[in-house]
A and B are shown apart, each in its own frame.
Chain A
Amino acid sequence: MPKAFDAANPPFDRLTPHEVETLRATLDIIYFGPDELIVGQNTSADSLFVVIKGTIEERDGGDLLALLGPKDSFDSRALVHGRSGHAFVSREETLCYAVPKATILDLIQRNPRFASFFYRDLSLKLDNFVKDQEEQRYGSAMRARISELFMRSATFIDADDTIETAGHAMRDADSNALLVRDGERTGIVTGMNLSKAVVLRRQSIQAPVRDLAHFDLVTLKSDDLVSTALVLMAKLNKRRIAIREGERFIGILEDIDVLGFLAGSAQLLAGRIERASSRDDLQAAARETAAQVRTLRRQGIAVELIGEIISDLNQRLFSRLFDMLAPAEFRSTGCLIVMGSEGRGEQTIRTDQDNGLILRNSCDRAQLDSFRRQFSGALAEFGFPPCPGLVMVSNPAWSKPLSEYLADFRTWLALPDATSHLNLAIFFDARCVAGDPELLAEAKTNLIEVLRGEQAFLAHFARAIDLFATPIGLFKHLITSEANGDALDLKKGGIFPVVHGVRSLVLEHGLTETATDKRIARLRDLGILHDDFARELTQAFRFMLMLRLDGQLAASAGVSGTLVRPSSLSSMERDLLRDAFHIVKKFRDFIRNHFNLGAF
């Protein structure tokens, strides 16, 4: 349909206007009644279909893998690689565009970006997708408004005020620059101006600042673009710009803050945490750490790197807080651990605090109780929500001597129920963030020893991968954990099976890595996972983490944020998500085989 065909819908958005015309001219529209086989399993196709309305089922034998809706296309494998992996059947009355194979092949030859959509390999597709996104994201940071940036306060002094007054005012305002009022004109004076006047020119600290101030002040409005500020600074060689809202000065923008916004200020934050001298300092740093996630994501930093940066900052924060609150005895003979997703370094947006304490010896009860309360309380104040399962230092079950943990391991093995499996899973992902790491290492070595050869237990443990079905519908008739419209639970259906399956494998083989992607790499090195499969699994996992993070950022005001709304994904993302779910499914089959779960 020449006019109504939506060329903005990926991957067609990568075509030039001329190529779009070529494509439109060759389109037909096909109607399918309910239950018609459109592309058979392992057959080739002579057209690429793009759904106009209706629903298509993607099937593998008897299994329903996905539901396709408007703007989704199928099936690149049948078209380009000559064999569809799956069958495509109309679920209801459905209208599709049919793009002839010859047209697609011709466009693939002409347009490499368009071609990347048809790659067989998910990792290649994803690489291309990420590259495209990076371009968009860099742009979006430059299009941000100045009002989104951190600014120094706009504090005024009079031109007749002395250098001494100015110095005190700077300290009080915690700013390195002040605005100077001199009758009608407004200027700026910086700490460096003061120092130079006193040190180099030997002026009296009683001299008025009028002679040191610069009155060639550069101003911008708060709704101007960040890029404008950056250009002005470079062009005029200014380090500071005064920001106005109407007639009023609301702040001073420094080049370091602009660069910090563009580059993220993770390095600066690390230093701030190390130097923090009070809980208030730490709280401020914690708040900024949380804000970093958005900045880093906006820069197009890969989600696994964001995870690493954030968990590093959190680790410093925990460690610093531990130093502040823990009695000296705990610090030398105790080990503070973070567990679950924080332990794996995969928690970017704070969802809960999973932490615990391992002590070498039993210790003074009252002292321990007071520490438990203070530590968990401080973290809650810092914006780490308490763990609903009470896996926290404040819970005596998770802050106790090593010997009691070792006893727990034996209980878990002897009484394998859902709770012991959950506890094992959480603990096995633990990472030491402060104190003596040897304690955690000992505990884990013991845990691995206890479980060595316990195949039946491990199989039971691994079975949890089938707890939640992989969500198959991608727009309307899909499976949701909560009745939340067309939302899709990425965590339960996609991320959890990978995390848990991988965890089961490394537990069986006694490996001590905690991050899922590093675990996959180790399993590959040991030959347990095939090279190609390990790469695909890692890519699929990262892609799902990225979608989850984007969902969380979009919903950052509230709710759990693991629910992704397929209708808000581009059809390209939906296509990649389908591929990722296929890989999750393959991985589940692998785990089932490996642990012989069919026997249950």
Chain B
Amino acid sequence: MIPRAIKRLFHQASIGDQSYRFMFERGAADEVVAIDCETTGLNVRTAEIISIAAIKIRGNRILTSERFEEVVRPDAGMQADTIKVHRLRRADVAQGHPIWKLLPRFLHFVGGRPLVGYYVDFDIAMLDKFILPFLEIELPNPRIEVSQLYYERKYGDAPQNTSIDLSFVSILKDLDIPPLGQHDAFNDALMTAMMYVALRDKKVRGSRIPRLRTHTVFDPTGG
């Protein structure tokens, strides 16, 4: 495994299209982008991207008014693999554009901003699969993992043997974020964005998420 920083330097040199050099510039300090991809499976090698959503966050403001939201039409050559895809989904994705047509706009939208996601490595790996042949780079953006931020706020100081639950639903519940329809790239990205602003604020204020006791405490009074 090559460390990401070295990879980044390598890609900065190897980039195929010089007009994408902006991907290596950080941009405004208080801006990040929440992303989510809906895919046909969880195996990066065989799965296909069905839709991509990205929402900019500036400070505490989630800029839903400037969003990237696209349905992807799989390439003709990959059609055979996506046979497994649900019929309805296929009808839906037929409306979309092939991913190579969408990527330039996506890359301009996110720029060099840090990418926020829930298990964001998977989404980025999915995207890299298509970006690598296109630009000869992988996404160089810093990554912010909301489940990691959540872990710090909730379990950072937990004693050993505490059972840990980092599920999306638990995070929503603990942060009291209204559940939107899940498994829609835009809604998932938006909920992730809400998690991010709430968790970041908690971190600044040093506020922790309370853990419920998993076992009862012995009470010598019997009461």
* B164-218, CB < 8 A from A: 175-178, 180-181, 184, 186-187, 190, 193-194, 197-198, 201, 204-205
- A3 in complex: contacting residue of B61, B65, B186, CB < 8 Å: B186
Q: Which of A26, A30, A34 has the most CB of B within 10 A?
A: A30
Contact at A31–B201, with CB atoms within 8 Å?
yes
Q: Which residues of A contact B181 (CB under 8 A)?
A: 3-4
Contact at A1–B180, with CB atoms within 8 Å?
yes
Is B13 interfacial (CB-CB < 8 Å)? no
Indicate with 1 or 0, residue by residue over B44-71, a CB within 8 angstroms of chain A CB atoms: 0000000000000000111111000000
Contact at B65–A30, with CB atoms within 8 Å?
no
With A30-B60, A31-B60, A93-B198 in contact, do A25 and B65 touch (Cβ < 8 Å)?
yes
Contact at A95–B177, with CB atoms within 8 Å?
yes
Query: In the complex, A98 Cα to B59 Cα: how many Å?
Result: 14
Quote the shortest CB–CB distance from A313 to chain B (angstroms): 49
Quote the shortest CB–CB distance from B116 to chain A (angstroms): 13
Contact at B61–A29, with CB atoms within 8 Å?
yes
Q: Which of B60, B65, B197 has the most CB of A within 10 A?
A: B65
Q: Which residues of B contact A30 (CB under 8 A)?
A: 60-62
* A8-66, CB < 8 A from B: 25-34, 52-54
Is A2 interfacial (CB-CB < 8 Å)? yes
Contact at A1–B190, with CB atoms within 8 Å?
yes
With A31-B197, A53-B178 in contact, do A26 and B65 touch (Cβ < 8 Å)?
yes
Contact at B201–A4, with CB atoms within 8 Å?
no
Query: In the complex, A467 Cα to B194 Cα: how many Å?
Result: 43
Query: In the complex, A25 Cα to B62 Cα: how many Å?
Result: 13
Quote the shortest CB–CB distance from A9 to chain B (angstroms): 13
Contact at A31–B62, with CB atoms within 8 Å?
yes
Query: In the complex, A54 Cα to B201 Cα: how many Å?
Result: 14
Contact at B201–A1, with CB atoms within 8 Å?
no
Quote the shortest CB–CB distance from B134 to chain A (angstroms): 29
Query: In the complex, A49 Cα to B63 Cα: how many Å?
Result: 14
Contact at A98–B205, with CB atoms within 8 Å?
no
Quote the shortest CB–CB distance from B171 to chain A (angstroms): 14
Q: Which residues of B contact A100 (CB under 8 A)?
A: 65
Query: In the complex, A400 Cα to B28 Cα: how many Å?
Result: 85
With A1-B64, A98-B61 in contact, do A29 and B194 touch (Cβ < 8 Å)?
yes
Q: Which residue of B lies closest to A25 (CB)?
A: B65
Q: Which residues of A contact B184 (CB under 8 A)?
A: 3
Query: In the complex, A32 Cα to B194 Cα: how many Å?
Result: 11
Quote the shortest CB–CB distance from A202 to chain B (angstroms): 79
Q: Which of A29, A34, A93 has the most CB of B within 10 A?
A: A29
With A2-B64, A93-B198, A98-B61 in contact, do A29 and B177 touch (Cβ < 8 Å)?
no
Contact at B180–A29, with CB atoms within 8 Å?
no
Quote the shortest CB–CB distance from B107 to chain A (angstroms): 23
Q: Which residues of A contact B187 (CB under 8 A)?
A: 3-4
Query: In the complex, A483 Cα to B22 Cα: how many Å?
Result: 60
Query: In the complex, A95 Cα to B195 Cα: how many Å?
Result: 11
Contact at B61–A4, with CB atoms within 8 Å?
no
Q: Which residues of B contact A98 (CB under 8 A)?
A: 61
With A3-B187, A95-B194 in contact, do A28 and B180 touch (Cβ < 8 Å)?
no
Query: In the complex, A186 Cα to B168 Cα: how many Å?
Result: 68
Contact at A27–B64, with CB atoms within 8 Å?
yes
Q: Which residues of A contact B177 (CB under 8 A)?
A: 53, 95
Q: Which of B64, B176, B187, B190 has the most CB of A within 10 A?
A: B64
Q: Which residues of B contact A28 (CB under 8 A)?
A: 61-65
Indicate with 1 or 0, residue by residue over B10-32, a CB within 8 angstroms of chain A CB atoms: 00000000000000000000000
Contact at B178–A52, with CB atoms within 8 Å?
yes
Quote the shortest CB–CB distance from B92 to chain A (angstroms): 15
Contact at A3–B198, with CB atoms within 8 Å?
no
Query: In the complex, A3 Cα to B187 Cα: how many Å?
Result: 8
Query: In the complex, A419 Cα to B65 Cα: how many Å?
Result: 62
Quote the shortest CB–CB distance from B188 to chain A (angstroms): 12
Quote the shortest CB–CB distance from B124 to chain A (angstroms): 24
Quote the shortest CB–CB distance from B202 to chain A (angstroms): 8
Contact at B197–A4, with CB atoms within 8 Å?
no
Q: Which residue of A lies closest to B63 (CB)?
A: A28
Q: Which residues of A contact B175 (CB under 8 A)?
A: 93
Query: In the complex, A425 Cα to B96 Cα: how many Å?
Result: 74
Query: In the complex, A53 Cα to B178 Cα: how many Å?
Result: 7
Contact at B65–A31, with CB atoms within 8 Å?
no
Q: Which residue of B lies closest to A29 (CB)?
A: B62
Quote the shortest CB–CB distance from A212 to chain B (angstroms): 67
Q: Which residues of B contact A26 (CB under 8 A)?
A: 65
* A108-133, CB < 8 A from B: none
Q: A52-B178, A93-B176 are in contact. List 9 more A-B contacts (CB 8 A).
A: A3-B180, A3-B186, A4-B180, A28-B62, A29-B64, A31-B198, A31-B201, A33-B201, A54-B176
Give the top 3 A-B pairs by smallest Cβ distance, nearest first.
A31-B197, A29-B62, A33-B201
**A–B Cβ pairs within 8 angstroms, 8 of them:** A3-B180, A29-B190, A33-B205, A34-B205, A53-B176, A53-B178, A93-B198, A93-B201
Which A residues are within 8 Å of any B CB, using their own CB?
A: 1-4, 25-34, 52-54, 93, 95, 98, 100
